[in-house]
Amino acid sequence: MDRPLARRVTLIAALIVLTLLAGTLGFRIIEGYSLFDAFYMALITIATVGYQEIHPLSHAGRIFNSFLILFGVTAMFFAVGAMTQTIIELQLQDRYGKRRIKRTIMQMKDHYIVCGFGRVGRNASFELQRAGVPFLVIDRNEERVARAIQAGMPTLTADAMRDETLREAGVLRARGLIAALATDAENVFVILSARTLNPQLTIVTRASEEDAEQKLRRAGADTVLSPYSIAGHRLAQALVRPHVVQLIDFAGRTMGLDVTTEQLRVTAESKFAGRDLEEAIKRVPSVVVLALNQSDGTMIFNPSRETKIAAGNILVVMGEQSGLRALESLLTGGAAATA
């Protein structure tokens, strides 16, 4: 429930409680009723149930009761009307919210799909959000969906293991998918479905068990990560080579600076396709080229300036966002198309 609706419900409850409290004190002071009798008399008066008076009222008591009836009935009608309006608004908000999300999903293209918003899926989603790429979260847990919506992420409340859900999420138009469900079996099911629906889809997942990695790859995953193996490796590296780990962390996230690592594809429209790497990077000296991935899959680390770049090559570069965007424009011929 959003803040305006919560505030409205709070005001309604406060109005009813204050009316009951005023009626209880009035009957207690004017008529000398016991506390329970005074409360009961105030309650049946406000509720207009038509019960008779507990004890005969004095003239002053009848005057007080007349004002209590006018004010109490008005307050109850106001409360009923406000609650009815609140319920209608919630229903309309839910209906139009679902329609808006559906329209957003239908307009998505070359986006990423995150199946599961648990610990792994949540962190992956925040990284995609930070990167500024279009993506969609799928989860059947309403609490997790609410957290994703609060974070400003397009979210679909459904079972990611169903083909209908993946189709609704635009898997046929998607660029990649992250399978981050609770178990390896569920991830295998999602990967099989997604790979069948879109053979060109890039699929990454995590393996909870060590022997599940090969099964996930056979199911169709392009990349399988084992959180426990990665954590163990990084812990050991942090002890043996702490400065290397610091550099890797620096390359993998901004660390409060405007520096990040990006991969950029060379397109056929770029005038630098077929030329030396130096001709492109000398235009943006603030960017460091870490590696070059050729079309045949060969990775060249720390390529020399004389290395020829061709359409379809991918450069792994590090630098400030402004420099990365400038280099991207050069490598794509002005069309922003990161790989």
Hey, where are the domains in the chain?
3-104, 109-231, 258-332
φ, ψ of residue 26 to 5 degrees: the values are: -65, -50
CATH number of the structural domain 109-231: 3.40.50.720
**Amino acid letter, residue 30:** I
Give the pTM. 0.57
Check residue 255 and give its pLDDT: 46
Local structure of 3: helix, strand or coil: helix
* Token pair in block for residue 80: 């009923």
pLDDT, tens only, 267-313: 988 888 888 888 888 888 888 898 999 888 788 998 988 899 998 89
What is residue 319's three-state secondary structure? strand
Which overall architecture, per CATH, does domain 258-332 show? 2-Layer Sandwich (3.30)
The answer to whether 3-104 and 109-231 have equal CATH topology is no
User: Residue 171 has what pLDDT?
Assistant: 94
Give the pLDDT of the chain (339 residues) as one tens digit per residue: 556 667 777 888 888 889 889 989 998 999 888 889 888 888 888 877 767 777 888 888 888 888 888 888 888 888 888 778 777 766 655 665 566 777 778 888 999 999 999 999 999 999 899 888 899 999 999 889 889 988 989 899 899 999 999 999 999 999 999 999 999 999 999 999 999 999 999 999 999 887 888 899 999 999 999 877 777 877 887 888 787 777 667 655 544 456 778 889 899 888 888 888 888 888 888 888 989 998 887 889 989 888 999 988 999 998 887 888 889 888 988 644 444
The token pair that represents 59 in the structure block: 């003239």
∠ CA(257), CA(263), CA(266), 5° rounding? 135
The CATH number corresponding to 3-104 among 1.10.287.70, 3.40.50.10260, 3.40.50.2300, 3.30.540.10 equals 1.10.287.70
The pLDDT score that the predictor gives to residue 198 is 95
* Residue 112: how many other CB atoms lie within 10 Å: 22
Q: Beta partners for 223?
A: 204
Residue 227: what pLDDT? 78
Dihedral sign (CA 35, 36, 37, 38): positive
Interval 32-45: pLDDT, tens: 888 898 888 888 88
Looking at residue 337, its pLDDT comes to: 40
